[in-house]
Structure 1
Amino acid sequence: MRSAVPFEARLSGWVRPLLTSSIIYWIALLGLCAAYLQGGFNKATNFAGAIAEMNHFGLAPAAPLAAATIVLELGASALILSGFHRWLGALALAGFTLFATLLANRFWELSGPERFMTANAFFEHLGLIGGFLLVAWHDLRERLAEGVRR
């Protein structure tokens, strides 16, 4: 005899406790921040390379912008992972990612296979931006529901 409970309800009942745990939420946030943590640490440990990257993209003054990028990538990630002003860290990385994507992934100026690969990277970064906007949205809604205004 088949259960009267629909398959979707049984499946969500099984998955919900796992996916709504706080550790899974933190792991998801860590995944969103992984590229920025890696980038920030790499730039911090190879500052000459970070300056070269700024020069490659025509950004000046290169050294202060490289330092600001390190602080932004690591600082905003720390806000997100700690939960302290998570929404602010998420919006900072969303804005940074939009700027960097428009600067580095200008697929509309390319042709051939390079255009295809760069377009993929461009739209993947839009997905990251969407993820950060969802984090900010969720955090602000949660704070509103709790009456927290920090």
Structure 2
Amino acid sequence: MAGPGNLKTKSVGQVRPVIGSRAIQWLALLGLCAAYLQGGINKATDFGSAIAEMNHFGLSPAAPFAVAVIILELGASAMILTGIWRWAGALALGGFTLVATFLANRYWEIAPPERFMMANSFYEHLGLVGGFLLVAWYDLNEARAK
């Protein structure tokens, strides 16, 4: 008779080859980086809007900030996706996201009903920060194990 422990072991054994594959890992990393790739590409192809965004958030001089954000979003995403200093790319995007979240999503300063959506965005971005911290943690521990 199969006990609960055997069922758990069997389930993990069936799922691990798929979910534990490098392809799924890369797709998960791509999903985590998707907004930064899209943002970096959009800013690079519409630099005027990138400058307007920097001005909107009071970042001056706007052009150097826009260039730095483009390089950070695309460069750190590339680091994560290629595995070259993945932990550093993850920490860079995590730190950037944390700062940007407190800059752009100050829901406590906004009256309802707009507060609701901004609060959701704030906490969703904190989730992204957590995801990037997990990527860095995993990458550093995987390197230590080798």
Same fold at TM > 0.5: yes
Amino acid aligned to 1:33: C
Letter aligned with residue 118 of structure 1: M
Aligned to 1:141: 141
Residue of structure 1 in register with 2:69 after alignment: 69
Separation in 2, partners of 1:56, 1:141: 40
Q: Does 1:112 align with 2:88?
A: no
- The runs of 4+ residues in structure 1 deviating greater than 6 Å are none
In structure 2, C-alpha distance between the alignment counterparts of 1:138 and 1:54, rounded to whole Å: 33
TM-score after normalising by structure 2: 0.96
Q: Indicate the residue corresponding to 2:7 in structure 1.
A: 7
Q: 1:124: how far off?
A: 0.3
- 1:131 and 2:117 matched: no
Count of residues paired in the alignment: 145
Matched to 2:121, the amino acid is A
The Cα RMSD (Å) is 1.1
* Percent identical residues: 66
Partner secondary structure for residue 112 of structure 1: coil
Structure 1 unaligned residues grouped into runs of 5+: none
Displacement of 1:10: 2.2
- Shifted more, 123-132 versus 110-119: the winner is 110-119
Q: Could you say which residue in structure 1 is the equivalent of 2:55?
A: 55
1:34: Cα distance to partner?
0.2
Q: Report the alpha carbon displacement of residue 6 of structure 1 after superposing the two structures with TM.
A: 3.5
Of 12-21 and 2-11, more deviation after overlay is shown by 2-11
TM-score after normalising by structure 1: 0.93
